[in-house]
Structures are given as structure tokens and as C-alpha cells.
Structure 1
């Protein structure tokens, strides 16, 4: 078993690799498709999935020559089947169809479904011993102990796609895990990095969606603005690299060139640098353990000054909440993630202000602890149950939090 394979020297990539794309029409999925199209002779697509866009999924399945396509919304089965008519591509719809896609015999699976809906299909891929390129946070945040244990038992390989964790993964190849003193993940700081707290409290949806470096979906862009994304990444790093809270640091690096690194016990520091383009870590995982031609390059003579600073947990309380949830453990990270999803959706719908996001998350964590909800999920169904309970609590608390003045 090799959830995160630190020894990267002996393996050789196959001449052709069969792949499945879970979340094929999203941002990560689209970047993966772009790379596959650049090397069509090296990749054979087994299955593709999407949440609701049946037409786009069908067009993608036809273009890539997929054998199976599944849409998460069961009501869209007829639409997908009609779009695939005459292609010979099998169609599926609903949560079980996503699991079926993950179980298809692909060597490599891109796990890019967002939200708690990602857990069961991604776990299904890991359970059959596939190489899982993990691009969603929820599998590790909601059920990290369960997921890594099951991946280990099946002999699966888990490759981190997030730019920060991928950077740490590459840096770890410079030494043994026992020689690691500290893991560092970087943060851009988002659009409000230099804003005073009073101005942040008045931030609009439009301002929060203006990320200075990365082009991402709305949810993760808001998480970057609140720095909840870094909090979730700390929890991910804990599970991916078997690291304690004391071994994980966050540094704000507004240029988004140094994505992460490792400090070893002898004082050496190894970091990975690259352009702020998700195709770079995706390409690393797609071709692993070999390398493939990337979409963009970084020229050293074009680099501006690189700066680093400590994060401010007063202006960005989401980071503090995530650290506390990781320390609490059990179901606390699941509740944190669920409440944050409800809060971000409410903010995007203009039902709450920006500071209410962290306030709702904290209130939901407190309510969950009081009601005994913070239990360790023993299986995917329990993880989903904790998630659903936390969402219900967050929705119930939403009017009270929305009425608070900041």
C-alpha cells in the first residue's frame, strides 16, 4: 500500500493509462481534459461524470471516447441517454451511477467531485486499489481517517492534486518521512489580504470573487477569501502526510509561486515552485511517476520579488476554527466543512454578509458539540449522516447569525 508514496524512484509509468474523470466538467476536470487532449496516445478514458450538465457531459464523453457517462442528478437520466444516442456509450444517473463510474476498471481516477457527494465514489475507486488523484477536500476533511485506512487496506495510491499538497508531496521525495521536521503550505491571502478588518466585514460577493491569482469556481474562491481553504488544507495535510498540528505551518505568499515545501531535521528546506496554473499539479499526477509536457512554464528571469508573511487569524477567523476542528478530531472537521458549505452558499445568495460565514461555522461547531454530534465516522454512511446533521443545524442557525451585526 502506498497512500502517499515517498519513494518515487522504482516505478515506471505505463505506455497507455486508462483514466476515469469524476467531475469531468468542472474546473479541475476541464484542466485534466485539456492535458489528456494534448497526449491522446497515452490516455484512454473509461468513464466521465458530471453533476447536472448532461449535454456537456455527453459531448465530452463522445469526444474522449469514454465507455460510460454518469450524471449525479437522477432526473437527468433521459436527457443524458438522449444526448448519447447512437454513440454506444453507456449512461447512468444518480449517486449509485457515480459509484459505478469509480468502480470501472481504470488505472487512474481523478476525484474532482465537490462536496460530501464525493466521498462514496472516491472511496469506491480507492477500495479497488486504483491510483486516486485527489482533487476534492471533502474525502479527507469529512472522513480522513476512514479514507486513508481503506486506501491502505486496498493498496491504493493517493496522489494529492491540490497545488499545495502536491508541492509537499514532490518535496518529500528529497528525504525520508522520519527526517521531516515541518511541512509548509502557502496561501495567496486572497483578495482581502491587506484589508483592515472593518473593510473585510463590509466585503461584497463581487469583491470576494476577485481572486488575485487563481481562476477557480465560486465556492473555493470564497474559501480563499476567508482563508477557510487553508484551514481545510491543514486537515488534509494531517491525513495525507501523517502530520501533527505542530508539524504543519501556513505562510501567506501573495505571488503564488512557491506552493509548499518541507523542512528537514538538518535544516534543509525543499520547496516546489511553479506558475499559478492547476494544470501543473494535475499533469504531475496524471503522468506519475513519469512526467509529461505541461501547459505553462515559469521563467526564473520573470519572477518578481517573493514575499512571505504569517497569516492573521484575527482578520481571518476561519483558519483558527479549522485548526481547532483538527485538534478536536472525530467528527469536528466534518461539521466544519458542512457548515462552511451552507455559509458560503448563503453568502453567494446574499443572505448573509462575509463575516457571518465564520460566525455560522463556529456556532454550528458549538451546537454540534453540545448535541453529541462530533463522533468519528466509522463508515461512509456515518460520515454522510454527520454531514447532513451539521447542515441541518447550520440552516437552523442561519437566521440568528444573519441578524448579528459586525
Structure 2
């Protein structure tokens, strides 16, 4: 049966990272070795002699900075026949939600098919010259993101062998936080019921979805060498590449699973400033200093708040205006619970500014249900955080059998 065959092949591929320490000498001395390098070094038989489609963007690269596109295009025995682009495009430069067009790669001549335009599903025409699909994109370990759902949808719908070239969870894979999505609120920023900060690498996530029958695909994972679940991204020694235009450093990525809620309000989440997702503000937030003091008095673990101002760029909330903002600083990243940070900020602003504050229709989609909105309005944040903590523990336990790394 296809599912049994897939599990057997996966066990063969991932056995070394699961059970063997120390890792290879090159991994120990040079940091984590990403899946693309492991593929070309140890597992080239998976693609040799085959026509390869590649789902990737600017973050798919080896440790030297050479793109996965170029590595595959110049590997003897590998025929790269199609590229697939998700949100932000193949170069990662298109703003959130912007249309991604199909085109052709100027360097290799390989066609680039958009999976973030008219369709999120690869068509038969796109797959006509493809025998196997590879996936190599750096995500951020957050449910409210689109790359991993593009991966899952492509694997589920393509009816082709699907191989994940694994990459780190930048915010530690041993930490799971936030509630699990209510399936009634599934969308492209939350396609499956996982925790908000789900604690899995791309390969592990796809193993979980496939193993639990939420997708049906012939999935293999080429694991990283030298990766451990407790690593932050900067522990891996891999160069930081902005995974999307508005996540520009690790601290922003850490707090993202809390401050992203502000996308579903009339408060700026910091897009259009120099520090998206670390700055939150509005033209009417004239008491930002008092709110920062109130939040600091709560002693929320791992963060500190300050009041600042910024002039907003055109094309974003409050364009051209200089507005008061709250700045979130990470003081102890090992203690940060970003969903709590976001909820506490929302409640503090809402309580002081009920006439000014507005929800946008997207809030329930971003939050994965109605509970964030209801907790903020009804002052039941503590109860929601307790419920989320229990859900996170259960989700982590459910995923444990699909982990690749210790």
C-alpha cells in the first residue's frame, strides 16, 4: 500500500538524525547542514535520472549562499524542469498578499509556475514534465504563514513523489505555544488544525499531516545534519535570510505569533516601518507611554515595552502619518510566549480605546477561531491562555511520533 511504503522509506532516511550523536564532523564544525546539501551528498539517488520540479524561493540555498535552483541545475544526472513559486514570489520580494505571476527563470530558462495566483494547486499542465517534486523553503514555525500550507497543498494534490529538503524551525522546535486552529476557520494562513507556534520543521510537519491522514501523499524527508530541537536559528550557524519581506530578524520572528494578531485590527502591526511586528501603533494611541508602563508592570516573561513614534510608509496603515507606537524588545528569548504577548497588548489597547479600536474581518482567520476576539472584549485573557497551554501540550504529544530530531 502506498502509505506503508512511504513510512518505510522515511524511516530509512531519518534514522541517523533521530538516533545518532555525534553528527558528522562537517556538521559539528560548520553548524547545521541543510537538506539540499545532504541530498546532493548522500541521497542523490532520489532524483538521479528524474525530471525534477522544485518549490522554492530566495531562502532555498546552501551554506555558501548558492541557491537550490543553481545547485540542482548544475548537478549531473538531475534535470530541473519546473519551478513553483509561493507567496512573495521566487525571489521573496513581493509584499504580503501580492499576486505572483508565472514566468521563466532568466538564469536557467526553467519555467516558474505560480502557486499563489489564480490557483494554489499545481495543475496537470504544470506537472506534465515532472517526475518528482522537491520543496526547499525556510519558514518561521508559525501557523499564520503560508509557505508550509503551500507545501502541504502541493504534496496532497500533485500525485507525485514529494521530497522535503528540511530546514530549521527558527524559533526552537521544542517550544509549542498558542491554541490549535478551529477547523471551521481553515484558510491559506491556517490550513490545518495545528498550534499557533507548532514546534516542527517543514519535514516534520508534513510527516505529521501525512501520518495522521490529513493529507495523502508519497512523502520523503531529506533531513538536516547537526540539527537539534532546542536550537534557535542563530545556533545553526546558517546565514539569516529574511524569510518574507517583513520578518527581518530573529526577534521579530519570535514575537510574530503574537503581534500578527494586529493585522486583524485597525492598529498597525508595524508594516511600513523599520521594525515590522516589533512595532504596534495607531494615530489615536496617544497614551502609548502609559500602555507600555502598564504592560511592563505585568512582568510578561522575556519582553519589555517602550513608547516610540514612526512615520508610516505609503501603502500601509496610517500612510504618511507620524504615529505613536509600542515597541516590543526581547529581553530573554527562552521565556517569551508570543501569543501571550499579543493577547496582553490587544487587551491593554482595547480597554483604553474602545471607541477607536476596530476589528477587521480577518481577525478570526488569523487567530484560528473567535476566541481571541472574545477574550479581548470580555477580559478573559487569562482563561484563554490557560486553555491554549493545555492545547499546546496535547498537540506536542500528538506530533512526537513524527519528530525527526532530538
Length-normalised TM-score, structure 1: 0.35
Using CA pairs below 8 Å that are at least 6 residues apart, which structure has the higher relative contact order?
A: 2
Structure (1 or 2) with the greater helix fraction:
1
